[in-house]
Structure 1
Amino acid sequence: MNILYEDNALVVLDKPAGLSSEEGIPAALRQHWDTPDAFVGVVHRLDTGVSGLMVFARTPAAAAALSRQITQSQEAYAVQDGRAEGRAEAPCFVKQYRAVLSGGPNDALPAAGTLRDWLFKDSRRGRVFPVSRPRKGVREAVLEYRIVRQTQDACLAEITLHTGRTHQIRVQFASRKHPLWGDGKYGSRVKGAIALQSCGLQFVHPDTGRIMNFTLPLPDTAPWNLFAE
């Protein structure tokens, strides 16, 4: 766990793969602070097998403010991509990702675009499935992406989430026959860690009003190093 920024209201860190965002990181932070009962507000989540940027609140007031920013941003994206009507505003809480996908651009996955799917979360099986139409338990998932580099059998995609559904990125690309490298649950034949990183995070500091912007470099491990310049 690499802490990138910390003050009395919040902490921003690079979550390692394998540590859960809801229990593992809060426990590690309390140990780091040597304060067993410290407040750690979880305002957004990453899958346990995914690494990258996260912000945690250190006070209930900061947690509420960051949660409001997430709600505002989801509403702004819904107007931007046509799921809702209203005046388009700029999202204030922005989450950006990068992923290594199997294969390259094709008819099912152009070099850039917006993916829209109806997703059903099967909690008993621990999986998410794309379905053809809305029904009980189904939620719409939307993301923007662009493929920025490619090799003969893989490509590097940059992704901005409009919605925050469970396993969303993994399922949306896998359903188009482009599973993320290492994601055996959703069809990858490659063994290893899931090649998905939360690489960009922007929000407004709940106390100062300052725009906070964090980015991570491309990892230097496989399969990321296939795309090193």
Structure 2
Amino acid sequence: MMEWKRKGEWLELSLPHPVWKPLHPRAVEELSALLPVPRKLFLRLASQGGVRVQGNKLLMHLFPEEKASFVPEYQDLEICYEDDFCLVVGKPAGMSIHPAEAGQKGTLASAVAFYYASTGQACAIRHIHRLDQDTTGAVLYAKNEWAHVLLDEAMREKRIDRRYAAFVEGIFRAKRGTIDAPIGRDRHHSGKRRVTPGGDAAVTHYRVLKQMKRAAQVELELETGRTHQIRVHLSHIGHPLIGDSLYGGSTALFKRQALHGERLEFDHPVTREPLSVQASWPQDMLVLLDRLQSL
């Protein structure tokens, strides 16, 4: 990885030797040997004057001022990780990632917009993945277009490892396993999904961390990212999430699905450094653990 630093709206890279003045057709390939480069974005930047060469310094206009596109709303967010390219925040329960309809308030997008504005960052809101409204945990954002392209690619290629903590009903026979079952829409319920032969491929890996008398603490890893995937898969094998009434879980002890996006593991889009970022457990799940252990 070459040496780089941010200079206002520009990223400055120190090249091994003076090159590319003027830029030649193979400049992007040469640069790709030194750091990850989305080809189309680099060529567009170059055509718009967003790439400059000064001796052995290459400058790219990667941090232009942008509008958030969401009305900023204050929310006390947990910042799990942040640098010039990435932001990971801990989403609370009851909050949608972005508005589902015009005028919807109280979304994570608006809370992140407020955070950017309050910290003097003119960034657009670019989430890389989603969590259900009542699921808590880590959500990854790209802070510029360069990082967005690279992180989207990493997500498509399954290079972003998402780990979840959950409390589920029943006693497991096996301590670990894989649920490989396609998921599609439930034709009888527009907001629900189900396992169906004609659905999209979906794979979930689980590991039982603690088996209790009536429930288990389970760690889950997604290989795919279908809507309600964990909820559908666990219900399908007879172990619905505690509190998940939509998929057969009891709400006697918990009023929402007991699911938390605990950890994200991925390579930084620019430095390629391996990152492992955790989001703190919400208080209600800590209380639930105590209750389950005392039953």
Distance 2:262 2:293 in 1: 15
Q: Would you say 1:203 and 2:266 are equivalent positions?
A: yes
Partner residue of 1:223?
Answer: 288
- 1:91-125 Cα shifts (integer Å, max 9, x gaps): x311111110011114xxx3211101121124861
Distance 2:86 2:281 in 1: 25
Q: Would you say 1:169 and 2:199 are equivalent positions?
A: no
Distance 1:173 1:19 in 2: 23
Q: Would you say 1:38 and 2:114 are equivalent positions?
A: no
SS of equivalent to 1:223: helix
Give the number of aligned pairs: 203
Which 5+ residue runs of structure 2 have no aligned equivalent?
A: 1-76, 100-106
Of 153, 166, 175, the residue aligned with 1:99 is: 166
Contact 1:120 1:130 in 2 (8 A): yes
Of 97, 104, 116, the residue aligned with 2:180 is: 116
Q: Would you say 1:156 and 2:241 are equivalent positions?
A: no
Q: TM-score, structure 2 length as denominator?
A: 0.64
Alpha-carbon shift at residue 37 of structure 1 (Å): 6.7
Q: Would you say 1:187 and 2:248 are equivalent positions?
A: yes
Alpha-carbon shift at residue 149 of structure 1 (Å): 0.4
SS of equivalent to 1:140: coil
SS of equivalent to 2:287: coil
Distance 1:60 1:152 in 2: 49
Alpha-carbon shift at residue 219 of structure 1 (Å): 4.7
Contact 2:123 2:144 in 1 (8 A): no
Partner residue of 2:143?
Answer: 58
Alpha-carbon shift at residue 218 of structure 1 (Å): 4.9
| Structure with the largest fraction of strand | 1
Contact 1:95 1:201 in 2 (8 A): yes
Alpha-carbon shift at residue 186 of structure 1 (Å): 0.6
Alpha-carbon shift at residue 22 of structure 1 (Å): 2.9
- One-letter amino acid matched to 2:192: R
Which region of structure 1 is more displaced relative to structure 2, 120-129 or 143-152? 120-129
What value does the CA root-mean-square deviation take over the aligned residues?
2.1
Partner residue of 1:127?
Answer: 192
Alpha-carbon shift at residue 179 of structure 1 (Å): 0.8
Distance 2:241 2:175 in 1: 16
Higher RCO structure, 1 or 2 (CA under 8 Å, sep 6+): 1
Contact 1:183 1:194 in 2 (8 A): yes
- One-letter amino acid matched to 1:116: D
Contact 2:204 2:224 in 1 (8 A): yes
SS of equivalent to 1:139: coil
Distance 2:136 2:279 in 1: 11
- Structure number, greater radius of gyration: 2
Partner residue of 1:29?
Answer: 112
SS of equivalent to 2:201: strand
Distance 2:144 2:167 in 1: 36
Partner residue of 1:82?
Answer: none
Distance 1:26 1:32 in 2: 10
Contact 2:116 2:122 in 1 (8 A): no
Q: Would you say 1:17 and 2:93 are equivalent positions?
A: yes
Distance 1:204 1:189 in 2: 38
SS of equivalent to 1:42: coil
Distance 2:261 2:138 in 1: 5
Partner residue of 2:275?
Answer: 212
- 1:151-193 Cα shifts (integer Å, max 9, x gaps): 1110011111111000000011112221101101111122412
- One-letter amino acid matched to 1:140: A
